[in-house]
Amino acid sequence: MWHERASTSWHGPGRRGHGAGSGLGRVIAERLALAGHVVYAGMRSVASRSADHAATARRFATTHGVALVPLELDVLSETGCRAAVDQVLSEQGRVDVLVNNAGMLMSGVAEAFTTEQFLTILDTNAVSWLRTARAMLPVMRRQGAGTLVYVSSTTAHVVEPFMATYIASKAAGEAFAESIGFEVTQLGIDTVIVVPGAFTQGTEHFAHTTAPAEPAVTAQYGDLAAAVAQIPQRLEAIDIAHQGRTADVASVGDALVEVLGQPRGSRPRRVVVDAQRKGVEDIDAIRAERQRTFFTALGIDHLLDLPPSPEQHHQTISDTTTMEAHVPDPLHQLVETFYRAFSGETDLLDEVVTPDWEDIPLGPGQGPGPDGVKPMINGIGQSFTDFHIVVHDVIDGRGDDGNGSIGVRAEMRGTHTGDMFGIAGTGRTVSILIHEFHIVQDGRLARTWHLEDWFGFFNQVGHAPSIGQDDQ
């Protein structure tokens, strides 16, 4: 499904973190929506814990006539991240931008934090970015375009005391974002790292900060520890000295909207929004120069920039997601349409296969050609609620004329609610791996060899057959 400007932005919260429901994440989501993007605002427990935030997002959408949709998303769960991506794909057909904004704050004397607390903030502020990337990158690879946005912090560049665990998590996250960003440039995927300064108002960051678990250790630091409580007031004083008022969190959303409006390949890798003027831009300029020199010596300087692309049109999706996509590759369109047909839109099958298309092997009772498989597709739809197929990889082995073989690695997903292979509905969510090979002939699929992991299905619904054992 195509939109002139479709954007999906997720802000996925973890533990005491903030997502698109509040603070910085909420402002980014609203600004993107007002700019014309279709925004999916990720938040944890939409129906319970985040119900108020979800209601606020819906009211904003109604009041302003924009597309801002609450999305169930827990960035501490890899399964949850993939489910969120699947929902957006099923409703929009693609995802163009991912905005990683999930985060939590810890402040206090470093020694007083436990290792468990440190691992918690690392999981939320850094490891979660790997989870969202693993869920999103297969989609962007197929699209041949996309933008990964990460919200970092100036403290990852200009280190301060009393925030050691937070700063370490942000530095780890930003290093991950930049490194993986180099790896995906040649796939047409852009990376933007937003580097905000501190905001004492308009966010829940300071109000929800996590204190050290061992205050007895903090007490041994004497008056030094009391300086922590004075930081917000001193930050406000710096802001007022520089610009006559406290920093406005909306400036981050506005900066991101502006950057995403720029053509692919011309966007800065980092966007600094810092009312305290710590000089991160100067540090970044030196780093960028040294990186290019070193990458050139290594022979990998091409990874610093996106490759030339065909004419583009813009499309965006938001929570932690906003992206821009070029005209889809015909092969990927062919594959996506084929598997949409098998996800229930059976009429699409006639658009992508030849009239004498062969499906090998035929299933029980399946007739030949596209008409022969349609009843089977409908039957699967009756056995699984929310049945859909997610394509992970396409291997292109065609010749210069566009004809030849391709390989596809995909996954069937759904909730087992009806009879399948004589097994009554179990209500379990299942994932069934698929490996298929197709022959492409003049822009259509002429032959398909398919292999599904039905043994995995039996395991997931609790009906795995016994092997090598005599019936008793």
pTM: 0.64
Catalytic residue of the set 40, 150, 166, 339: 166
Query: Are 239 and 116 members of one domain?
Result: yes
- Which value, in Å, is the radius of gyration of the alpha carbons in the chain? 25
Strand partners, 9: 319
For the stretch 38-75, pLDDT in tens is 999 999 888 888 899 899 999 999 999 889 999 999 99
Between CA 244 and CA 238 the distance in angstroms is 9
**DSSP code of 246?**
P
Q: Write down the pLDDT at residue 247.
A: 73
User: How far apart are alpha carbons 465 and 99 in whole angstroms?
Assistant: 44
Indicate whether 2 belongs to any domain: no
- Give the integer Cα–Cα distance in Å for 415 and 455: 16
| Helix 128-143 with 164-184: angle, nearest 10 deg | 20
The last residue of one of the domains, among 269, 291, 326, is: 326
Q: Pairing relation of β-strands 325-326 and 429-441?
A: unpaired
- Note whether residue 33 is domain-resident: yes
305 and 353 share a domain? Answer: no
Dist CA 417 CA 116 (whole Å): 40
Ranges under pLDDT 70 in the chain: 1-22, 202-207, 308-329, 466-472
Please tell me whether residues 362 and 318 are part of one structural domain.
no
First to last CA, the chain: 54
With beta carbons less than 8 A apart as the criterion, state whether 390 and 411 touch. Answer: yes
- 172 φ/ψ angles, rounded to the nearest 5 degrees: -65, -45
What is the CATH number for 44?
3.40.50.720
Within this chain, do residues 69 and 119 fall inside the same structural domain, yes or no? yes
**Does any domain span residue 467?**
no
Q: Do 25 and 139 lie in a common domain?
A: yes
The answer to whether residue 166 is catalytic is: yes
Give a yes or no: residue 3 inside a domain.
no
Instruction: Identify the domain boundary among 326, 352, 371.
Output: 326
Give the DSSP letter string of 425-458: P---EEEEEEEEEEEEETTEEEEEEEEE-HHHHH
Same domain, 23 and 163: yes
Is 469 within the bounds of a domain?
no
User: Is 123 within the bounds of a domain?
Assistant: yes
Q: What is the mean pLDDT of the chain?
A: 84
Residues 141 and 283 in one domain: yes
Angle at which helix 128-143 crosses helix 330-342, to 10 degrees, equals 110
pLDDT of residue 36: 87
Q: For residue 196, which of 146, 231, 227, 235 has the smallest C-alpha distance?
A: 235
d(CA 387, CA 23): 35
Residue 439 sits at φ, ψ, to 5 deg, of: -105, 120
What total number of domains does the chain contain? 2
Same domain flag for 360 and 453? yes
Domain of residue 405, residue span: 330-460
CATH classification of the domain holding 408: 3.10.450.50
DSSP string, 264-282: TT-S-SEEEE-TT---HHH
User: 335 with 227, same domain?
Assistant: no
Considering the domain architecture, whether residues 48 and 140 belong to the same structural domain is answered as: yes
Give the residue from 326, 346, 366 where a domain finishes. 326
Residue 465 belongs to some domain of the structure: no
Which H, E and C letters describe 328-352, residue by residue? CCHHHHHHHHHHHHHCCCHHHHHHH
Q: Where are the beta strands (DSSP E) in 211-294?
A: 270-273
Verify that 305 and 401 share a domain, yes or no.
Answer: no
Does 468 fall in a domain? no
pLDDT of residue 307: 82
Strand partners, 64: none
In terms of domains, do 313 and 389 share one?
A: no
